[in-house]
């Protein structure tokens, strides 16, 4: 606060003295009463800090005991009174309640943490006034009111001839991500070839926490690691010519990284085997399998799609001396709900549900754990270009909200489908086949990084495209 040049009247004692302005209330005080005024403000700040602490405690208490028990009981009663096929809907409804509650508290905590950072900065720098305090107080009132209205989830009933189906309705709508439509080429872009700055028909991709891109470089018979913002990649598996010797690969279709031991697991399609590379030592995990897609769940189980047997098998990590367990398909080629037709890419969610890109059936199937048949969650309306159709679906991934993203190969686009909806929406591409930044030519593998940016293996353009998320 700057010193005044002339004596003026103190706002507190009304005496003519050398006074100092308070920027918050726009009044002037003598030195004694300015100190008192600052102490009053400091006391108010301490009260506000205490209110913030109490609010944080309320968040923690309600997170431990969310007020949705009655909803779960209604769902349980509905499940008991319904036939077996409806039990699956009950479980999905529980998951939605939990996700909506989690989304609500995550949003509240984010707002609270942002305000906490502001209050800590003000307190640390000792630069605050009535304006700051009023702003912080109003922000606390707003999020307190939002927390008080936390019981914003209800059940909407849909009358049908045989049951009253239920769904979860939340006033806290999830935010659907969007991406810039012009991509950034983050790997290759230098044309088809076998140099370290080139790719030849990239299939599956995997993005790690450092945003390193691992690429199944199909026609080059190698796995390439492309570091963040690098101009070229480096060979981390294969690259010794096409062959079936240890140290060689033959048309690899997919690659994943085991986060536990940082080993590289590869679908060595041409050699009909799944191999693991760890510190340049190779091990065959599964053989005599027409492997295409790979996935690993949170418990370390490995999933492999068999393109010709029309099935997906699961192995427990470290126990590869058996044939594994069939978790999807396995009933011959066909288009029934217990069958697959040329399954390719796969994804496994937190509940160990398996999503399968059922290529020649033009659909994506979801197989819940331990079920005998799958459910169509995307496509399934024949080959086509409409929003309810797919044309040779390839890569498939699922986000935290359960939304399904599909590389719609011959439609040159990436689609998003919400489970239960009749049609999807185009998120990127869909502008015809081409090599412009808003075009794709045979999209294959899909992946997200930790920030939500979308990566696409652009097969016939021999490049990896990054679509940046719009925040």
Q: What is the pLDDT of residue 285?
A: 94
Query: Which one-letter DSSP state was computed for residue 298?
Result: T
User: Using a CB cutoff of 8 Å and minimum separation of 24, what contacts does 9-12 make?
Assistant: 12/36, 12/37
Q: Which residue is it, tokens 């004692």? A: 13
Cα gap 453→469, rounded to integer Å: 5
Cα gap 287→328, rounded to integer Å: 19
Cα gap 425→264, rounded to integer Å: 34
Tens digit of pLDDT for each residue in 405-449? 999 999 999 999 998 889 999 999 999 999 999 999 999 999 999
Burial class (CB in 10 A: 0-12, 13-18, 19+), 25: middle
Tens digit of pLDDT for each residue in 318-332? 787 788 999 999 999
Alpha carbons within 13 A on the beta-carbon side of 201: 7
Q: Which residues contact 426 (CB under 8 A, 6 or more apart)?
A: 387, 413, 414, 415, 416
Q: What is the pLDDT of residue 184?
A: 96
pTM exceeds cut of 0.85: no
Helix axes 130-148, 84-125, angle to 10 degrees: 170
Cα gap 97→321, rounded to integer Å: 41
Query: Which one-letter DSSP state was computed for residue 193?
Result: S
Q: What is the pLDDT of residue 3?
A: 44
Tens digit of pLDDT for each residue in 261-274? 889 999 999 999 99
Confidence bin at 2 (pLDDT 50/70/90): very low
Per DSSP, the chain holds a count of helices (H) and strands (E) of 4, 29
Pairing of strands 301-306, 363-367: unpaired
């Amino acid at each position: 606060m700057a010193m005044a040049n002339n004596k003026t009247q103190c706002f507190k004692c009304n005496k003519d003295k050398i006074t100092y302005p308070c920027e918050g209330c726009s009044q002037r005080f003598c030195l004694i009463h300015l100190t008192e005024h600052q102490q009053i403000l400091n006391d108010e700040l301490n009260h506000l800090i205490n209110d913030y602490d109490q609010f944080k405690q309320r968040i923690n208490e309600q997170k431990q005991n969310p007020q949705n028990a009655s909803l779960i009981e209604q769902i349980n009663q509905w499940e008991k009174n319904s036939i077996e096929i409806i039990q699956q809907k009950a479980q999905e409804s529980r998951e939605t309640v939990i996700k909506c509650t989690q989304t609500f508290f995550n949003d509240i905590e984010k707002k609270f943490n942002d305000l906490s950072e502001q209050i800590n900065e003000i307190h640390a720098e000792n630069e605050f006034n009535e304006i700051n305090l009023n702003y912080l107080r109003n922000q606390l009132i707003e999020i307190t009111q939002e927390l008080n209205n936390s019981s914003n989830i209800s059940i909407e009933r849909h009358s049908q001839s045989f049951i009253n189906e239920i769904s979860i309705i939340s006033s806290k709508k999830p935010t659907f991500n969007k991406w810039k439509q012009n991509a950034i080429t983050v790997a290759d872009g230098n044309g088809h070839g076998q140099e370290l700055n080139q790719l030849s028909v990239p299939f599956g991709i995997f993005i790690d926490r450092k945003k390193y891109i691992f690429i199944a470089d199909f026609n080059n018979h190698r796995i390439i690691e492309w570091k963040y913002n690098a101009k070229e990649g480096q060979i981390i598996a294969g690259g010794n010519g096409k062959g079936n010797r240890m140290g060689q690969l033959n048309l690899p279709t997919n690659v994943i990284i085991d986060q536990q031991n940082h080993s590289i697991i590869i679908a060595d399609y041409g050699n009909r085997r799944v191999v693991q590379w760890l510190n340049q030592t190779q091990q065959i995990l599964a053989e005599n399998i027409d492997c295409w897609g790979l996935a690993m769940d949170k418990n370390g189980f490995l999933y492999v799609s068999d393109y010709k047997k029309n099935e997906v098998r699961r192995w427990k990590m470290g126990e590869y001396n058996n044939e594994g367990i069939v978790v999807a398909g396995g009933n011959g080629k066909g288009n029934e709900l217990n069958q697959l037709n040329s399954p390719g890419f796969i994804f496994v969610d937190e509940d160990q549900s398996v999503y399968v890109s059922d290529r020649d059936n033009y659909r994506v199937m979801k197989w819940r754990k331990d079920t005998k048949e799958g459910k169509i969650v995307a496509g399934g309306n024949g080959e086509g270009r409409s929003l309810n159709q797919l044309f040779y679906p390839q890569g498939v991934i699922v986000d935290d909200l359960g939304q399904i993203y599909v590389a719609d190969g011959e439609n040159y686009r990436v689609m998003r489908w919400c489970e239960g909806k009749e049609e999807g929406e185009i998120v990127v591409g869909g502008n015809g086949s081409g090599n412009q930044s808003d075009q794709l030519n045979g999209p294959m593998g899909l992946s997200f990084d930790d920030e939500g940016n979308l990566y696409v293996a652009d097969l016939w353009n021999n490049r990896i495209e990054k679509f940046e998320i719009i925040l």
